[in-house]
């Protein structure tokens, strides 16, 4: 697992353990996603957006990175992987 994936997983655990996520409140979700994105960009700068999605394989909510350009995604992953 790469450093940025470990860090993203660490942020996910921090968010979900602190909030409990019994109910999916839109304002809490938005705050959490914004916090995760700013934390990620602080350590791993780049032009990406953090999204929250449900992972049915692990039965949990998770975070992922979305890039607007495939070339930029490739260069970012080469730099940080």
The arithmetic mean of pLDDT across residues 15-23, rounded, is: 64
35: Cβ–Cβ under 8 A, 6 or more apart, which residues?
11, 15
DSSP class of 53: E
pTM: 0.82
Encoded tokens for 28? 């809490």
Reply yes or no on whether the pLDDT at 21 is more than 80. no
Q: Model confidence at 76, in pLDDT bands (50, 70, 90)?
A: very high
Encoded tokens for 80? 């940080």
Distance in angstroms (rounded) separating the CA atoms of residues 68 and 75: 13
How confident is the model over 22-52, as pLDDT tens digits?
455 667 777 888 999 999 999 999 999 999 9
């Amino acid at each position: 697992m790469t450093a940025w994936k470990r860090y993203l997983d660490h942020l996910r655990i921090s968010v979900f353990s602190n909030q409990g996520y019994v109910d999916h409140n839109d304002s809490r979700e938005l705050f959490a996603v914004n916090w995760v994105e700013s934390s990620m960009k602080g350590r791993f700068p780049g032009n990406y957006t953090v999204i929250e999605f449900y992972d049915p394989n692990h039965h949990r909510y998770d975070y992922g990175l979305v890039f607007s350009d495939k070339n930029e995604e490739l260069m970012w992953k080469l730099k940080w992987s």
